[in-house]
Chains A and B, each alone.
Chain A
Amino acid sequence: MKRFMKLCAAVAMTLLPVGAMAGSSAAGNPILPAAEVATFADRVQNDLASRGARVAIVSRMGRDPAQMPDGILYTHVAFWVYSQITLADGSRGQGYRVYNLYQREGDRMVSDLVQDSPAEFFAGAQRLDTGIIIPEPALQRKLLAVINSPTYAALHNPRYSVLANPLTPQFQNCTEHTLDVLMAAIYDTRDSAQIRANISAYFHPQIVEVGGLKRALATMASEALTTADHGPVVATATFGSLSRFMQSYQLTSDVYRITPTTISRF
């Protein structure tokens, strides 16, 4: 029986696009050469600073996009906040701190709010390619106020699902927490039920094509792939759905993509 279960898990991981959505993990060791990652992280930091971004939503490509479900390029998003950084030697400088929701190592059904650096953020990348949303300056100010308040942590639900349904409070992933913080800033509230009502009314999550059998197999591959909070249609918050939502309500000043060699608009 154990062999049968392992076989099902293997099938799920190889055949199911959702199996490729590993979720948001802090990277222990860089997947790509550390020097390349650091150079790319600095390229993104410098670009954001040159645009005067105090708060940006930045994404990471944690999986080969060819393995991802249709319409999904990025596996992780986080707020990057322009901050005063104190280095180990006591010297101070300006740079970005990254406010993440990461799956907990050793218990993938649980998440933690973790701050790290741009280089640590991209250490989990399979490919150096990032999608970036720079909110309108007025929204950046509101986001900064929320991130620096107890509301930021209060909106965290540690029950993690890769495919969390943003219309329900049962599970949360990194993008849903980002969306919740965004809604808290827009509507100036920390009331989770009110935030949920506004998300249900105005936000359209990304539909993920996955049938009943695939859903069952995916759960066998990893509990964090649960879709227990979904109905017949599985839909989750993604970088793409966030950017579409923000652009449709004129909440952005820039949405673009950076690779090691190019900067382009979506």
Chain B
Amino acid sequence: MSRPFLALIVLGAAAACTNAGSYHAAQSANHSEASAMHGSAAAGDSVATVVAVPLIVSGSALLVSGAAIQSSTTSPAPPPTRTPNGPPAL
């Protein structure tokens, strides 16, 4: 198995996990790609190592995507389009 092919396997597994585990799939994709590169570097030793890598990578990708959610979210409330009426009063 060539290294690029192994990298594709790892990349696919990691991306599938982050897509399922996070609704910020676009943000997760970057992390998955980085994780996949790490996986492909470790994949040259043996087939057994390669098989284990996607699981490890996908786990770490999930953790990263969780952190990404916290750090990347923007203001939840767009500025109100209306002016408030004033404090509630009966």
Contact of A200 among B58, B63, B73, B84 (CB under 8 A): B84
Please, which residue of chain B has its CB at the minimum distance from the CB of A194? B82
B1 within 8 A of A: no
B67 within 8 A of A: yes
Q: Mark B58-90, 1 if CB is under 8 A from A, else 0.
A: 110011011111110111111011111101111
The tally of residues in B whose CB lies under 8 Å from a CB in A reads 34
Compute how far the CA of A222 lies from the CA of B74 in the bound complex, rounded to whole angstroms.
Answer: 23
Task: Kindly list chain B residues whose C-beta atoms are within 8 Å of the C-beta of A113.
Answer: none
A216 within 8 A of B: yes
B17 within 8 A of A: yes
Task: Kindly list chain B residues whose C-beta atoms are within 8 Å of the C-beta of A139.
Answer: 90
The segment from A44-52, A63-71, A94-102, A227-235 found at the interface with B is: A227-235
The answer on a CB contact under 8 Å between B68 and A212 is yes
Query: Which residues of B15-59 are within 8 A (CB) of A?
Result: 16-17, 20-23, 55, 58-59
Given contacts A211-B70, A232-B73, A251-B90, contact A5 B20 (CB under 8 A): yes
The answer on a CB contact under 8 Å between B21 and A168 is no
The answer on a CB contact under 8 Å between B90 and A193 is no
Compute how far the CA of A135 lies from the CA of B84 in the bound complex, rounded to whole angstroms.
Answer: 22
Tell which of B17, B63, B90 has the most Cβ of chain A within 10 Å. B90
Task: Kindly list chain A residues whose C-beta atoms are within 8 Å of the C-beta of B78.
Answer: 168
Task: Kindly list chain A residues whose C-beta atoms are within 8 Å of the C-beta of B69.
Answer: 212, 215-216, 227
Q: How large is the interface on A (under 10, 10 to 19, 20 to 34, 35 or more residues)?
A: 35 or more
Please, which residue of chain B has its CB at the minimum distance from the CB of A186? B88
Task: Kindly list chain B residues whose C-beta atoms are within 8 Å of the C-beta of A88.
Answer: none
Task: With both chains docked as a complex, state the minimum distance between the C-beta of A172 and any C-beta of chain B, in angstroms.
Answer: 14
Given contacts A228-B23, A231-B74, A232-B70, contact A196 B62 (CB under 8 A): no
Contact of A168 among B68, B77, B81, B89 (CB under 8 A): B77
Compute how far the CA of A217 lies from the CA of B66 in the bound complex, rounded to whole angstroms.
Answer: 8
The answer on a CB contact under 8 Å between B59 and A4 is yes
Given contacts A1-B58, A212-B67, A216-B62, contact A193 B21 (CB under 8 A): no
Query: Which residues of A182-202 are within 8 A (CB) of B?
Result: 186-187, 191, 193-194, 196-198, 200-202
Task: With both chains docked as a complex, state the minimum distance between the C-beta of A108 and any C-beta of chain B, in angstroms.
Answer: 16
Task: Kindly list chain A residues whose C-beta atoms are within 8 Å of the C-beta of B66.
Answer: 212-217
Given contacts A212-B70, A215-B66, contact A193 B80 (CB under 8 A): yes
Q: Mark A129-167, 1 if CB is under 8 A from B, else 0.
A: 000000010110010000000000000000000000101
Task: With both chains docked as a complex, state the minimum distance between the C-beta of B79 and any C-beta of chain A, in angstroms.
Answer: 9
The answer on a CB contact under 8 Å between A193 and B82 is yes
Task: Kindly list chain A residues whose C-beta atoms are within 8 Å of the C-beta of B74.
Answer: 231
Compute how far the CA of A98 lies from the CA of B69 in the bound complex, rounded to whole angstroms.
Answer: 38
Supply 27 A–B pairs (Cβ within 8 Å), ascending by A: A1-B17, A4-B17, A4-B59, A5-B20, A139-B90, A187-B88, A191-B82, A193-B80, A196-B80, A197-B80, A197-B84, A197-B85, A198-B85, A200-B80, A201-B80, A212-B66, A212-B69, A213-B63, A213-B66, A216-B62, A216-B69, A217-B66, A228-B23, A231-B74, A231-B75, A251-B88, A251-B90
